[in-house]
A and B are shown apart, each in its own frame.
Chain A
Amino acid sequence: MTSELDIFVGNTTLIDEDVYRLWLDGYSVSDAVSLRVRSGILEQTGATAAVLQSDTMDHYRTFHMLERLLHAPPKLLHQLIFQIPPSRQALLIERYYAFDEAFVREVLGKKLSKGTKKDLDDISTKTGITLKSCRRQFDNFKRVFKVVEEMRGSLVDNIQQHFLLSDRLARDYAAIVFFANNRFETGKKKLQYLSFGDFAFCAELMIQNWTLGAVDSQVADMDVDLDKEFLQDLKELKMLVADKDLLDLHKSLVCTALRGKLGVFSEMEANFKNLSRGLVNVAAKLTHNKDVRDLFVDLVEKFVEPCRSDHWPLNDVRLFLNQYSASVHSLDGFRHQALWDRYMGTLRGCLLRLYHD
């Protein structure tokens, strides 16, 4: 006796959260069944393995049918085939678009193209995430990217509108899209200590301050591309380190203000010129695409690592950066105060976030 056909269709579509998770994680039906058995469900419910198998198959089939709709979440809301309560719809969407930290760190800043897709095999091996799940996550990134790439208006709003994600997840996707578009390098060894959250935090600051949208909210790509004019202007900051008097003045202003307040004052004093050169040079180089990509590498190399090797406490870093940015306003010879604030305001936030072990 073999079961040829075995289905269950409810007027309200039954969604089992646990099975959904297993499906999203890319487990095959048989793997999912054995995982469920291990969870002790048979003992709790008195069911048999055959029942579990049938139930799992059924849910997988439902999810498979829903997947097409999940690719365009508004469709899920308007379709008539599956009657699903709104809270469940939201859960389905949210979980479908959720991603693994380990996975996103691997592809963050990479071009979302076919070539990368081939690397998914390696990522799967490296992270232990099933290939199927990697594909789903990668395809989600790509799908969101394609849809919002050319759109006007706020990136987060667009994502939310077209994919009906929660605010937090939409912000994460905004970061992913932003990174993918600007191809920021995140995979270098010295960047491995950074979490996706660190990058997403920086992305949000940069989107808010450094993109076209920060100036004009009516242009296409406004939140995705950096403001080219702004990057061009950043060259002007170079005088802060090129002009020897200015640099000295800047240093003395900072040192005066911080004397006695910093535990690492002497180290700071000794390193001031290097640090300042580092930060200003990063700005000046941002006209080249390649240097834009290396932004995070540079920040870590030029600022985070030197400070860390001198064991600056986070609070000292904060005091220093605050003073460092603020003191420029007292430099009479320096005219690009607004530019400096736009640059340094964001950079200060980023650096504080990046500064940890």
Chain B
Amino acid sequence: MPGKLKVKIVAGRHLPVMDRASDLTDAFVEVKFGNTTFKTDVYLKSLNPQWNSEWFKFEVDDEDLQDEPLQITVLDHDTYSANDAIGKVYIDIDPLLYSEAATVISGWFPIYDTIHGIRGEINVVVKVDLFNDLNRFRQSSCGVKFFCTTSIPKCYRAVIIHGFVEELVVNEDPEYQWIDRIRTPRASNEARQRLISLMSGELQRKIGLKVLEMRGNAVVGYLQCFDLEGESGLVVRAIGTACTLDKLSSPAAFLPACNSPSKEMKESPLVHPPSHGCRSTHNSPIHTATGSRLTQNFSVSVPTLIYTGMGSGSAGKEGGPFKALLRQQTQSALEQREFPFFTLTAFPPGFLVHVGGVVSARSVKLLDRIHNPAFVGIMGNTRSYKLLDWNSFNSDEPETRDAWWAEIRQEIKSHAKALGCHAVVGYSESTSICEEVCILSASGTAAVLNPRFLQDGTVEGCLEQRLEENLPVGCGFCHIPYDELNMPFPAHLTYCYNCRKQKVPDVLFTTVDLPTDATVIGKGCLIQARLCRLKKKAQAEANATAISNLLPFMEYEVHTQLMNKLKLKGMNALFGLRIQITVGENMLMGLASATGVYLAALPTPGGIQIAGKTPNDGSYEQHISHMQKKINDTIAKNKELYEINPPEISEEIIGSPIPEPRQRSRLLRSQSESSDEVTELDLSHGKKDAFVLEIDDTDAMEDVHSLLTDVPPPSGFYSCNTEIMPGINNWTSEIQMFTSVRVIRLSSLNLTNQALNKNFNDLCENLLKSLYFKLRSMIPCCLCHVNFTVSLPEDELIQVTVTAVAITFDKNQALQTTKTHVEKSLQRASTDNEELLQFPLELCSDSLPSHPFPPAKAVTVEKASPMGEGNFRNRSAPPCANSTVGVVKMTPLSFIPGAKITKYLGIINMFFIRETTSLREEGGVSGFLHAFIAEVFAMVRAHVAALGGNAVVSYIMKQCVFMENPNKNQAQCLINVSGDAVVFVRESELEVVSTQQPTANCQPSCTGGEVTT
């Protein structure tokens, strides 16, 4: 019996009135863990009860500790009838199970009801005493740390990066059980919340076991998702990267060195992956895999795209032999692994050697209902069922799902191989489900890694090796990883514009973050490709076939759009590429987001040339030349806007493969067209002259228009979907994380692909415009980690959800830096390398942070009263100064500008359902969802605060499923969020601690603390 869980219920406040007669409430609390329940006394007639209970003690297995949530229910005592539930709090006690994280959970938690939302708060204290009991056959994996952050967390150092871990569990969805017809919506929602909580606990435990098997102690880049498959069940799956992490303990004396946010980034190896780059030459659909049938499921595996990069097999200082050696080493290290995948998007220095390009795979599956009466019976009988693995009832099911994913991963692996890469980084998986059709997608960036990190050995060793290698600074990752003579697809190679020794492609696409030592010219920007395709409504296999036939075209179109938009911006590389394909009843939607930049190592992108098919028509010619002029103007304007002024390089130095500027200015519809595989698809423009945009093609016309209608953000705004914006490094501490949701209804008439595209495009553009307007007070600012999610909840509805963080930066400093930007970045890159070697710089003081927020300043009272007199003196202190609620920041980034993360308290992974039967009264769909999202934020903040933290980093809203039925006045919404709870300390406060601090980069951080988040 390895653990004792202790819970104390202290008090409640702001409870709702449950007794209309007295306008009061007789509240008591039930505390439940596993199958044990304790109750507090009834606190009569109060909305602010003080229970001050004894310690309730649960003696439990650590397996249960990992799986089960602590469930606290607040009820109103009723002598004559059943007690009414006020609401519940679920507390995940996982953070208490490993030693370095939180030691106690204590604080005010919102009391949540799935029908009424938040109804007051309850103060709870939770502790766990763990007994060491390591002899038993381990079913639990207590002690394995989980991080959502997709880089090595600050204040840790990676000893070994073991690799990919994955797991999934399947269960029946309580919403679809027969009992759901007779139970209340509340009971049904609670059953679902509890089940998912149990399943994620179990999943995490199982993943932990795998990590222990690999001799790791942590999972980084942990991503857990739910697939609500409806009648066929509920799948919870997770992927992550197993690592062995060492906690860094650095003496305070080292702190001073790094206190500007930008500097911090450079020094910390995490955010600051060494030169690895990826480039893409897009080449289009390569494998048209034929549909394969699994035993009992229909499945079509879909042509997959590889956006590759190419690497030169050998060149430069490293020379051939070394490279071969390197490859040998890594291969042996990686070949032991089934899937050499890494969910990280930023890497320790020296980890990533070359980047090939984006690899992705999709497959369309049919979900089959599995009838199992026995199972339903058991689920129905008892409300406190123990989670039953689908396994025990239908051993087929999880295997089927596993097989599906294994298939896709295998494909990804082979794509990577084709690119001369032995690993995939920035790897992620997703699904889109509509009725019984499910699209599984996986994507990542093919890469060549440094083997030293993958084996037992020390980081020091790696660093030594790195020195030996002497990789060119800021461009090494761009160099092609495969053999020039044996390229997997045709591409234009040139000598690297930076080192001039190795070959680089002309365009590079990747799914990872921009390495911070990469030499970038100018600023980056968010680039999106948006696409809709109508599809006939169909059933089962016909439907799946229709979808799989459409997918390659969509991939191709999305890719072309990205390419054109990239060129229009005058840039040559995409980072953080994420392509989402969403399936609906009668349409498919594709949305690709990435951050475009100009890499100094890659050649200048060519322009876009338009050509008409009927060159004889005079007016037509005129029209074309008008369009051409517009495009050229836009490119010139963008170059100015994003400050892209690459240094002039004389042709001789670079060598032949670079086409003359004039030639290059003719646009490829996409280079990939020249690739052989394209012909398999027989696209209308296959085999045509590359680089020319045929305007006779209506699609192309549309493309040109959409290119030109994309409005750049207003001045003072930048946006990107990566962690940091290239070209901006002087962040202030003012941040604002937000979620925005929009749903539009399409008029069912005249639905054409064009109209659909326009609607979708407008939806996204308008959403961005609204964001810029709302956040105008933060100018100059950058929207970072902009994450769009598209879903098609119903026939004619399109839902777009955006989560991002706006960060203000200091304009004056920005101006300075841009002037000498190129020089500086070169310089910076080299100094970085040196700094990187000094690991102690990596901060992580164990000391508790001092309170990060200064007491509120005097309230400014403005002219609120009409009384003209100015002669009143204040009798008492400003009334609002005694606010008791601490500020908790939330950000999708892995860091907080102007601050040091000193401690990781554990993973936050929460799932909520909210339902209403009085939609109109709650302000309609907008009012309902607005309130719900605000409540979700509040619950996340409360949990973080109770763990002793003051921020959530790597926050992500993984799911926001919204369903409405306005006729019945009903709506339901499911939200799943996760992130890492942390403690951070403002750099300005660190400075106070140590005296040698250089003050130059001191941020005005403290004041920001209360104003923002």
Contacts and interface: CB of A to CB of B under 8 A. Distances in A.
Say whether A associates with B.
yes
Interface of A: 1-14, 45-48, 50-52, 54-55, 57-58, 61-62, 64-65, 75, 77-83, 85-87, 89-91, 93-95, 97-101, 104, 156-157, 160-161, 164-169, 171-172, 195-197, 200-201
B481 to A, nearest CB: 41
A164 B743 contact: no
A161 B938 CA distance: 26
Q: A45, A52, A80, A100: which has the most chain B beta carbons within 10 Å?
A: A80
Contact of B769 (A11, A48, A161, A195): A48
A47 B773 CA distance: 7
B864 A94 contact: yes
Contacts of B872: 167-168, 171
Most buried by B among A54, A57, A62, A75: A54
A49 to B, nearest CB: 11
17 contacts: A7-B926, A7-B929, A9-B933, A11-B1013, A52-B773, A55-B774, A58-B930, A62-B930, A77-B884, A83-B937, A85-B1010, A86-B1010, A87-B857, A87-B860, A87-B1011, A157-B876, A201-B869
Which among B746, B773, B799, B1011 has the greatest number of chain A C-beta atoms within 10 A? B773
B875 interface: yes
A197 B869 contact: yes
Contacts of A161: 879
Closest 4 CB pairs of A and B: A86-B856, A98-B864, A101-B866, A90-B859
B896 to A, nearest CB: 12
Contacts of A169: 861, 864-865
Contacts of B741: 5-7
A200 B867 contact: yes
Given A5-B742, A196-B866, 20 more contacts: A3-B742, A5-B741, A7-B741, A10-B737, A12-B1012, A50-B766, A51-B770, A54-B770, A61-B930, A62-B930, A65-B927, A77-B883, A79-B14, A80-B885, A80-B941, A81-B110, A86-B859, A164-B879, A169-B861, A171-B872
A197 B867 CA distance: 5
Interface stretch (B142-150, B325-333, B525-533, B887-895): B887-895
A165 B885 CA distance: 19
A72 B1010 CA distance: 22
Of the candidates A62, A79, A90, A95, the one having the most CB atoms from chain B within 10 angstroms of its own CB is A90
Nearest to A5: B743
Given A55-B774, A83-B1013, A90-B859, A5 B866 contact: no
Nearest to B715: A46
B880 interface: yes
Main secondary structure of the interface of B (DSSP, over half): mixed
B859 A10 contact: no
Nearest to A195: B868
Considering residues A1, A3, A75, A200, which has the most beta carbons from chain B within 10 angstroms of its beta carbon? A1
A166 B875 CA distance: 10
A14 B736 CA distance: 9
Contacts of B676: none
Contacts of A82: 934, 938
B270 to A, nearest CB: 24
B878 interface: yes
Given A7-B926, A168-B861, A201-B869, A80 B121 contact: yes
Contact of B876 (A13, A61, A98, A160): A160
Contacts of B118: 80-81
Contacts of A2: 744-745, 747
B180 interface: no
B116 to A, nearest CB: 13
A1 B744 contact: yes
B875 A87 contact: no
Contact of A4 (B744, B933, B1012): B744
B942 A80 contact: yes
Interface in B749-783: 759, 762-763, 766, 769-774, 776
A134 to B, nearest CB: 15
Contacts of A54: 770
B739 A164 contact: no
B926 A57 contact: yes
B998 interface: no
Contacts of A86: 856, 859, 880-881, 883, 1010
A8 B885 contact: no
Contacts of A196: 866-867
B875 A8 contact: no
Nearest to A102: B866
Most central of A11, A62, A64, A160 by chain B CB within 10 Å: A11
Contacts of B75: none
Contact of A1 (B759, B770, B861, B888): B759
Interface in B467-482: none
Contacts of A79: 14, 885
A81 B864 contact: no
A55 B775 CA distance: 11
Nearest to B879: A164
Contacts of B862: 91, 94
B1 interface: no
A172 B926 contact: no
A12 B740 CA distance: 13
Given A11-B890, A45-B714, A87-B856, A61 B864 contact: no
A77 B885 contact: yes
B295 interface: no
A118 to B, nearest CB: 24
A47 to B, nearest CB: 5
A328 B311 CA distance: 107
Contact of B926 (A50, A61, A166, A201): A61
Contacts of B888: 83
B866 A51 contact: no
Given A47-B773, A51-B770, A61-B926, A90 B934 contact: no
A57 B743 CA distance: 15
A5 B973 CA distance: 13
Interface string B836-872: 0000000000000000000011011110111111001
Given A45-B714, A47-B773, A94-B862, A9 B934 contact: yes
Contacts of A5: 741-743, 799, 925-926, 929, 962
A1 B762 contact: yes
B406 interface: no
A304 B780 CA distance: 60
A344 B738 CA distance: 61
A48 B711 CA distance: 13
B319 interface: no
B227 interface: no
Contact of B745 (A1, A55, A65, A77): A1
A6 B926 contact: yes
A226 B869 CA distance: 25
B935 interface: yes
B867 A78 contact: no
B882 interface: yes
A356 to B, nearest CB: 13
A280 to B, nearest CB: 30
A213 to B, nearest CB: 15
B315 interface: no
Which of A7, A171, A197 has the most chain B CB within a 10 Å cutoff?
A: A7
A46 B716 CA distance: 13
A166 B736 contact: no
A160 B762 CA distance: 49
B1013 to A, nearest CB: 4
A83 B945 CA distance: 13
B889 to A, nearest CB: 7
Contacts of B6: none
A89 B773 contact: no
Nearest to A65: B931
Contacts of A97: 864
B865 A98 contact: yes
B251 interface: no
Contacts of B873: 167
